[in-house]
């Protein structure tokens, strides 16, 4: 049996189950400021703590939604390892993404993954869909929920 077929069989058995919970990451003002500088998104609700405290209901600055989303890759590193025979993993995008709660500066986040589906695309690729929930420590409502697609790419079976 080819490595991809063995990986498919093992992964199919996990559909519907939680497959990983990452470590916590603190999203502090320095991280928010660096993200703002990198993306040229310096809206004051992200980078002006005094104004954000005075003029928003958040009590201070909040992280960019895309900063929160960008941490998904780090969370995945905490939760997933390569399957036997896999040579790389590729971000394939999102089917659905919702930002549900703002992330205040100083918050701690983690990712929780539930395998929604897996299918073989061809002799070298498995397409996995995970429900990703990015949780905010101490809050019931998560920062975001997304259906994240990833390709597990395997070595050429022809060698």
Contact assessment for residue 6 and residue 84, using Cβ atoms and an 8 Å cutoff: yes
**Rounded mean pLDDT, 12-26:** 97
Percentage, residues of the chain above pLDDT 90: 93
What is the phi/psi pair of residue 141, to 5°?
Answer: -85, 125
Q: Confidence band (pLDDT; 50, 70, 90) for 156? A: confident
pLDDT at 143: 98
Longest dimension (CA), the chain: 63
The pLDDT score that the predictor gives to residue 159 is 61
pLDDT tens sequence across 105-134: 999 999 999 999 999 999 999 999 999 999
pLDDT, average across residues 65-73: 97
CA atoms within 13 A on the CB side of 100: 15
Report pLDDT digits (tens) over 24-49. Answer: 999 999 999 999 999 999 999 999 99
Percentage with pLDDT > 70 across the chain: 98
Phi, psi torsion values for 105, nearest 5 degrees: -55, 135
**Average pLDDT over the chain, rounded to whole?**
96
pLDDT at 106: 98
User: In the prediction, which pLDDT does 153 show?
Assistant: 96
pLDDT digits (tens, 9 = 90+) for 85-97: 999 999 999 999 9
Q: Is the pLDDT of residue 157 over 90?
A: no
| Residue-range domains of the chain with CATH | 3-27+64-154 (3.10.129.10)
CA 99 to CA 112: how far, in whole Å? 15
**Residue 157, both tokens:** 């079976």
pLDDT at 17 (0 to 100): 97
With 0-12 / 13-18 / 19 or more C-beta atoms within 10 angstroms meaning exposed / middle / buried, residue 40 is exposed
Predicted model pTM: 0.93
DSSP string, 38-70: HHT---HHHH-HHHHHHHSTTSS-B--HHHHHH
């Amino acid at each position: 049996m080819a490595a991809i077929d063995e990986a498919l069989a093992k992964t199919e058995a996990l559909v519907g189950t939680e497959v990983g919970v990452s470590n916590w990451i603190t999203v502090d003002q320095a991280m928010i400021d660096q993200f703002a500088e990198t993306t040229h998104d310096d809206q004051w609700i992200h980078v002006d703590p005094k104004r954000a405290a005075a003029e928003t209901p958040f009590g201070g600055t909040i992280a960019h939604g895309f900063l929160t989303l960008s941490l998904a890759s780090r969370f995945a590193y905490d939760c997933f390892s390569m399957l036997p025979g896999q040579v790389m993993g590729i971000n394939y995008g999102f089917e659905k993404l919702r930002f549900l709660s703002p992330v205040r500066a100083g918050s701690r986040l983690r990712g929780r993954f539930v395998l929604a589906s897996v299918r073989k695309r061809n002799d070298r690729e498995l397409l996995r869909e995970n429900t990703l929930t990015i949780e905010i420590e101490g809050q019931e409502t998560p920062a975001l929920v997304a259906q994240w697609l990833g390709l597990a790419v395997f070595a050429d079976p022809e060698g």
